[in-house]
Structure 1
Amino acid sequence: MDPQWRRELIEELDQLKAREQLRTLSVAEAAVEPWLKLNGRRMLNMASNNYLGLAGDARLKDAAQSALEVYGAGATASRLIVGNHPLYEQAETALHAWKGNLPSQAGLILNSGYTANLGVICALVGRNDVVFSDRLNHASIVDGIVLSRAQHRRYRHNDLDHLESLLKKSTARRKLIVTDSVFSMDGDRADLAGLVALKERYRAMLMVDEAHSSGLYGPQGAGLVQSLGLQEQVEIQMGTFSKALGSLGAYIVGEKWLIDYLINHMRSFIYTTALPPATLGSIIAAIELVQRKAERRIQLWEHTQYMRSELRQLGFELGSGDTQIIPIVIGSNERTVAFSLRLQEAGIAAIAVRPPTVPENQARLRLTVMATHQLRDLEWAVAQLAAVGRELGVIGR
């Protein structure tokens, strides 16, 4: 007879399947390109975070290969042991210059956005503190707050009046406000200037996750914080190299003393093996490229504006955002999954996003555009989206 724990876990899987929430893995080939193969079928890639198309860029690959040849395949240890190879200094110097080159600030490179958010939040707050978090923040922020054991106060999405009401009630010794700059499932932006005003009024720290804005905003692609001139008002800037910059890893930018503090207190930094040299090589190349090549950002925003305009005219519900992340909100899990599968049959990789990633009854397709898409491909995609949307009753005929 099966033990009870086994039966219970299998029953949970069955329940996920019944609710159309069961996740499965697909094999994606050539996913760095505008067209990929998903489970062996050629499709237009509208599901990637490779916004500028840099993941397949020959210059990043050449830099990674050169670093591999010189330094080997692995870092061999954590950065505080013997894993802090010379490319880290080069990459963090490039990061510091890219993010504003402020004398008071420094940068720190970590292994992923997830571990960066967990590590920073757990290092800065604890049981006697409180974190104020936008309700639609990324799961890594939520998990970091839970692991920190700080009080978790969620404010309604982009509702600064609600946030202020929570700040007024707080008597915690240390207060931290955390937000995404571009929200990964809704494609809208945080009111960073408003958040800066509130954190200064209530003597809180502010942490901004720039995962989906790094490389895309400002004249050198340094992110939304810098494009708004707020880099000296935001205590903690976090971002990733794994999306628009086409590589892997994450960064923290803040005052030098803060970086020193994190090096000594951030468990996800202290107790993990360093990034491989090839990754650092590609990061250095990516930072250089996004500063010199504004053409890709311009192309991305032209593609974004085209897709949003066409889909809104067709009657799709896209929310209020204006970014490269375009959610088509459908509602039920069943119809969203059906829409995704029909699009894949038509030749478009557009993946269904369901609870718990998004709220109940707000399942959606999360479309993303790339600078390397061709306009004719996007025009074709709009036609397929319109046909399937009408077929399934998502939009009118």
Structure 2
Amino acid sequence: MLWLVCVLGLIACGKDAVPPPGAAEPMTLGSQNETPKVAPAPPSEAEILRGTYWPPAKLDGGVARISCEYDYPSFGEGERLTSLDFFSLVDALSPCQARGVVRLRYQGKIGAGFTALVQRVAAMATRMEIQTRILDIDSSGGHVEEAIRAGDSIAESGWAIWVRDGSVCHSACVLVLAAGDTRSVEGKVGIHRLMRDRSTATSRAELSRELRSINQQVRDYLERNGVATSVSDLMMTVANRDLRILTADELKLFGLDGTNAAQDDLDRIRLTRKCGDDFVRRREAFRRAFDAQCMATGKNFESMPECAKALQGEYGFPDKTCPSDSPADLYARDLPDLLPFEEEAVSNEAKAAGDGGKGAEKGAAKKSASRQVE
């Protein structure tokens, strides 16, 4: 009998002791009710750039210029940006504050410096309430991961993107193009396989796994930016050393030229919450009529504000409930500023044949500017 008592005692010693009712809980080092301390998440880049101390960043692999004008044939490419620090951006963008337009001309590779560039120009433009931001890009590509990072920043900060005549947007640059609120393409847009920057693949199977991972990232990215995911599949069919130039029809079909469908839907949702369904339906009908009647072939730019005013009554604008969002007022107010070529509009066609092609360049600039207000 004694051996049974000893065995039961040993078993009891192996279990956690249960304190009797009302007994104080055993003391431990540190309070058992204390919430574990979790290290705070590091601040995002956007949060950092709200202050005046910006961490060092360098523009590598490209040249950036800042202009406050749409009309690059008349006003040039802008002043070269040599530093990405806070006060350099203050100096560079201050002249654009009154006009409310900044055009960032970038020529070079997509890398960490480019990501920092678009983030910092957007942050300074927000401080200065410069609402119209244009990325005038000429790039043969670069790092896929940085293109996605830069694109996500662009998508959150209201950029229009131009690939103007004579410029290119190849490879990873296409991901940047996808992020714009509007995209205006006159140059060449080309695609091929997007590969990891530092691939460690030693076999086709390993390379396939890497490419599958990249392809999924790219598909997710394109989808959230209103671009057909079939672009990613098409990329996979073109070897990295080759290039496939997309046609104008393909750019439209894939959602890489014109208004960003995802942003357009988001804007419509926000406007519906603010002004109501009826307002949004009338506004969209007005825009269709404006495109058909005021931007038809043969119409000159000076007539657009008057054409917009003539249409407003038909669609119930200006609207008293949301006057600042009435499209007729927006078109009438903004078009003269967005199209700074009125005095030359009549004579450009006559000059185009004898001015070394500058007339054609101005026509392209006008076309890009007109897309900004669509």
Choose 1 or 2 for highest CA Rg.
2
TM-score if structure 2 supplies the norm length? 0.22
**Structure number with higher strand proportion:** 1
- Structure of greater relative contact order (alpha carbons < 8 Å, 6+ residues apart): 1
TM-score if structure 1 supplies the norm length? 0.21
**Structure number with higher helix proportion:** 2
